[in-house]
Structures are given as structure tokens and as C-alpha cells.
Amino acid sequence: MKDVMTSSMVSANCPLISNSLLRNHNCASPMLSSFINCYSGWHALDEEEQTAGFAAASPSSDANQPAAADASNPSATPVLAPSTMALFAASFDNSACSSVSSDGSSGNIANIIVAEKAVPSSPSLSQMDKTFVSSDESSQGDEEAGDVVGPVDEKADSRRRIIMFAKGCVIVLLIGIILIIVSVGKQMPKNKPKNQSFFDVPVTLEPSSSPSGTPSISPTTTNFPTLQPSSSPSTFPSAAPFVLFTYGESLYTDNNLGIQISVGLTARQIAQSGSSVRYDNGGRSSRRYHGMMDGAGIAQLPDRGYAYLSNAEEPDGNGGVYGLYFNKDGQIVDYKALLTGTSRNCGGGMSPWNTWISCEEYKNGQCWQVEPNPDSPNHNLPKATLLGGPSGGEYETVAVDNTNKSRPIFFTTEDQSNGELRRFEADGNDWDALHAGGRTTYLEFLDGNRFQWTTSLSAGENSAASYYPNAEGIICHNSTLYFVAKVTRTLFILDLNDMTYTSELTGSSWVGQGSFNSQPDQIIESDLDKRKYIYFTEDGGSAPGVHVRDREGKYYTMVRGVPGGRYSGDETVGIAFSPDRKKFYFGFQDAGVLMEVTRYDGHVFN
């Protein structure tokens, strides 16, 4: 019974081994080829024949068991002779699947097995064993040599055959492993680490039923980022990058707002002159938004909100300053008057202590200081400053050099053909510095692109008439003073340290779409330490807009009215940035429209 079971195990398992070997090697080994050919001959028998042979080979102790097939009982089941095991064991020498026939000739083992099916079974397995010879000896040879086959111990012979079978299987298994190793080794990458052998990489013929506790191969590292994002965010958020933005490469039209705006930006209208202001909580202001809005600035408030401070250029005492208040999230929460009873409030500028200076543009105009912080004692006490002098004038815009914080210097332009540029050095800092005292001088241009500050008002007026008539917007940054003369469309750049200046025509070096053909008016700066961007409003033309100059002197369009559209001949005004520089404000004066501009990507403006 053990022989039959062993033979059954071979029949069940050897196909896996032989098929695996065939996939990984071409059976170059004669020994392996012999085994495969021998097994193939046996496996060629159909399933019914194999089953019949195994059933007949097992002796039965049942008295009613049918007798073996012989001449007197042709219907009995034929027996497959147990010579199969001997032939299987013998298949591993060089003669392999060749056996010796009864006439001394060699034949294929498959043919022998088929022939043996016709041999009648004997009563016992031990008697059948006496008729078998090894693959290198024929029964005829034994007779001629006078050898007599004696009785064989059934148990000992069975053990011997099992041992031979086991040895054969071990040999086959080792050969298979060697061939697999050779085959896989050829497929190993050529850049395998020198200190890693093939046996460091586990190889299995079949997958395990459950995952291993640790990875078989340590994960590799790479110097390049993965293409896919991680499934969970990092513990600490990274800082939002500062993205440089180029204006005017392409403009798109917003027909609802009547503007053309640089791709990457979006705008919305937040106020209309003559209408109440809509708050973000759904409420509305009790006061209508002022008309003839002009210069503007933004003051940060203690609660992290801010106020947009806008001039009203109405004449005859109908001008003033009005505040549009935002919370820390940039939502509109209030609108109120901060200065009334003045006339033609045109430009202005922010002080180092966060107050707004509003300048009147009429013959006896003054420059007023306004406190936007509701918690300040000066909130409801706007006051005329010393910037305009005792007689006043048609003033435009204010800039400040706060390099020396104990003695800040203020610069004021005057919109007249001979309007001098004033320089006021204050005696102190904070609110009272603009009301207590200081010294006033005037800009005078000299030969060789040099300039000086003179105490002669007439020298300043003559210089203005010759070089910079109708001065408008002005800013100061890092000891450099920038201002424009709108009639000549000229930008002046003064180095306050070496007392020299340069000048250029605004819009002369143009990049991208749009144009800057009309008069420059107000100017503000943003990130002058990075790209040195200066923003300009435009007075007049068929498409007045907001334009930008970079540090190389190239000009771009940020936003403008549709050419020939509803804003043709108007004036852009009120340019200012929110404290975090994520929102930009501007308006059209005649149309009375105030807009808020943001970047699509949510980053800050340059």
C-alpha cells in the first residue's frame, strides 16, 4: 500500500516540478530530461487506466473481492504491474526511459507500461516482485547467467523502493532549485549592490497565504519627489510661497464690469456713488457712498481689521474723507464720514503713525490729518497740518521718509504749472509732529541731473515750471523719491543720498497687452524691495486703467476700461492694498464705481 501511495504522490506533485523546470530551463540535463520523459509516458495513460491500475495493485483481505483478470475471469479489472516504481527509480541513469524488453531490445517505458496492463495479476505483491528486473538487466539475462530469483522480504523491499523514490525526488528537487537560481540570476539587475548576493533576495514558487511581518526587501529611497500626493497632510503646514506675478501678458474682458483685466486676476464691485454700501452681513449703510472719489489709503486697525480711506473731490465745502471699514477677514462692516466741510480733496498719503493726510486741491487748500482708529482720542478731531504753509495751495499727494524716526520728512506735490515740490522736516513724531513746527524747503533742479533743496519759494516754482509742471503722485522708499509730472507724462527718480535724478516717459517701454497713453496721476508702491513695482492711475483716454512699472522700467497693464466703453474719458483713482496685500482697490471717478481685485490663486500681490 505504501508503494501505491508513494506512486500517487509522485503523480500528484511531479507535474508541478516538471512544469516549473520546463519554464525555467530547457532540460539541458540528461538526467532531468530522462525523468520528465519517463513521467510523461506514465502520465500519458488516461485517468481511467491509472485508476484501474492503482486499484488492482492493492491486495484486498475481503473474501468477496473480485478475482484478478485471467482466462477464466475476463471481466475482472486488469492490473498495472508494479514495475512502474522500479522503472521510475531507474529513470535517473543515462538509459533513462529506455528499458529492456523480453527479447533484449530496448523500448520506451510508456510502451512497456501499456504492455504490462495485459499481464494477469498475481495473488500477492511479493510474488509479482519476483518477475521484475532493474532497467539495466533483463530477465533473460538473469536466466542465462544461471541466477535464481529467491524469495523477497516484502517489508524490506518496500522500504528500499521508498528510499530510492525519496532519493530520486530529492535529486529532482535540487536540480529544479539550481535551474531556477540560474534562470532568476540571469534576470537580476546589473546594478545590484556589490554587497548583496542573490540569496539575499527570497524566492518563492507560490505566494504565501498571509503577509509576512516585515518586508522582504528594504524600500529604496530616491532624491526625486513622488508624482502623487501623500494620502494625509503633513503635521505642520508649509508657508505659502511668494509667487511673482506678471501683469498684462494677456487681458480678458469682464463685460459685467466693463473692464479688461490681466489673466490671473478677478474683480468685483463693492461700492457705487449715490447708493448705500452693502455690508457682508446683509445690512446696508445709512449713508450713501460719496461721489467724486479720488486718492485713497488703507490704515490697519487694532482689531486686525482695516479702513479704506477715500477722498471726495467735491467743490464748495462738499468734499472730505470717508472710511469704508473691513474686519480681519476682509468683509465690509461699516461706512462713515471722517472729514467734512473741505473742498476738492484730491490726493494724500499715509503717515508713519497710521493716519491719513488728505490734501485739498484749490487756491487756498490745506493738508488735513485724519485719524481712522475709532479708539483714538483724535478720531473725531481732524486737523489742518503745517505742510501747506500759511497761504495754502492746490496740493496733491504726500509721501514720507521715515529713515530718522525722530525727525520724519514729508514731501508734498502741487498740481499747478509752477507748483513747487515741498519738503517739510518735522520736529517730532506722531500726531503732533505735523502741527507743532518744522522747516520747509523746495526742490530745485540743477545742471548735470543734480538737484538741491532751497529755501527760496520762487526758485522752487521756476524749477517746477521748467522741469516738472503739474506734479501729482509721489512715493518715497529706501532714500529714493519717485513722483510724476502729468502734463509732460514724466516719472522722476531722485536719489536722496547723492542728490542726483533721472527721468523717463511713463509707458515708454511697454510689455504685453494694454497701453498707458494718457496722463499719470496717483502712484503707490508695493514690494519695492523685491520687484520694485510702482502702480499708476491714469487720467483720461479711451481706456483709462491701472498700470505697473517694474525695476527695469518696463510697463504693464493690470486693469483698464474696455476701449471706447463706459469708462472712456474717465479717471482711475483710489489705488490701495489691503494690509496683507491680498486685495487691491481702485475706482473710476466719474462713474463712481469702487472695485476690489484679487488673485485667482489667493497669493499676495507683488
Region of residue 280 (phi > 0: left; psi between -120 and 50: alpha; otherwise: beta):
alpha
Q: How far apart are CA 468 and CA 460, in angstroms?
A: 10
357 inside domain: yes
Q: Are 451 and 501 in contact (CB under 8 A)?
A: yes
Domain boundary pick from 175, 190, 205: 190
**Residue 5 scores a pLDDT above 60:** no
Grid cell listed for 601: 490663486
**Reported confidence tier of residue 370, pLDDT bands at 50, 70, 90:** very high
From CA 324, how far away is CA 336, in angstroms rounded? 7
Q: What is the pLDDT of residue 126?
A: 39
Task: Please enumerate in sequence order all residues whose Cβ is within 8 A of that of 364, keeping only pairs 6 or more positions apart, or say none.
Answer: 391, 392, 393
pLDDT at 232: 52
User: Of 172, 190, 208, at which residue does a domain stop?
Assistant: 190
Grid coordinates belonging to 149 = 530469483
Task: Output the nine-digit C-alpha cell for 573.
Answer: 483713482
Instruction: Give me the long-range contacts of 600-605 (CB less than 8 A, separation at least 24).
Output: 600/264, 600/265, 600/266, 601/243, 601/264, 603/240, 603/241, 603/242, 603/243, 603/245, 604/242, 604/580, 605/245, 605/526, 605/527, 605/577, 605/581
What is the arithmetic mean of pLDDT over 36-64?
A: 42
Residue 120: pLDDT above 70? no
Q: How far apart are CA 337 and CA 213, in angstroms?
A: 73
Q: Are residues 133 and 265 in the same domain?
A: no
Cα gap 556→564, rounded to integer Å: 20
Is residue 199 one of the residues assigned to a domain? Answer: no
- Judge if 180 and 256 occupy the same domain: no
Q: What is the pTM of this model?
A: 0.62
Structural domain includes residue 302: yes
Lowest mean pLDDT among 213-227, 280-294, 499-513, 549-563: 213-227
Confidence at 548, pLDDT banded by 50, 70, 90: very high
The amino acid sitting at 553 is G
Structure-derived torsion over alpha carbons of residues 57, 59, 65, 69, reported in degrees to the nearest 10? 40
* Residues 271 and 178 both lie in one domain: no
354 and 459 inside one domain: yes
78, 175: one domain: yes
DSSP string, 330-378: S-EEEEEEEEES---EEEEEE-TTS-EEEEEBSTT--EEEE---TTSTT
What phi and psi values does residue 57 have, to the nearest 5 degrees?
-75, -15
Does a structural domain hold residue 211?
no
Q: Are residues 532 and 389 in the same domain?
A: yes
261 and 182 both lie in a single domain: no
Residues 173 and 273 in one domain: no
Inside any domain, residue 153? yes
Instruction: Decide if 586 is inside a domain.
Output: yes
**Residue 528's CATH number:** 2.120.10.30
Domain-located, residue 604 = no
What angle, rounded to 10 degrees, do the helices at 154-187 and 2-24 form? 10
Q: Are residues 466 and 349 in the same domain?
A: yes
Reduced to 3 states (helix: H, G, I; strand: E, B; else coil), residue 129 is helix
The edge-to-edge listing of strands for the beta sheet with 367-370 is 345-350, 356-360, 367-370, 383-384
- Asked if the model's pLDDT at residue 29 lies above 80, the reply is no
Model confidence pLDDT, tens digit, residues 412-464: 999 999 999 999 999 989 999 999 989 999 999 999 999 999 999 999 999 99
How far apart are the C-alpha atoms of 352 and 411, rounded to whole Å? 13
Closest CA to 267 of 252, 280, 281, 288: 252
Dist. CA 90–CA 377, nearest whole Å: 115
Looking at the structure of the chain, the number of domains it has is 2
379 close to 331: Cβ distance less than 8 angstroms: no
Let me know: does 93 contact 27? Beta carbons within 8 Å.
no
User: What average pLDDT does this structure show over 458-472?
Assistant: 97
For position 137, what pLDDT does the model report? Answer: 38
Cell numbers 479489472: residue:
77
> What was the pLDDT predicted at 241?
57
Confidence of residue 365 (pLDDT cuts 50, 70, 90): very high
Domain that includes residue 379, residue range: 251-599
Which letter does DSSP use for residue 200 in this model?
G
Note whether 255 and 155 are same-domain residues. Answer: no
In a domain, 94, yes or no: yes
Phi and psi torsions of 547, nearest 5°: -125, 160
Last residue of a domain, one of 144, 161, 190: 190
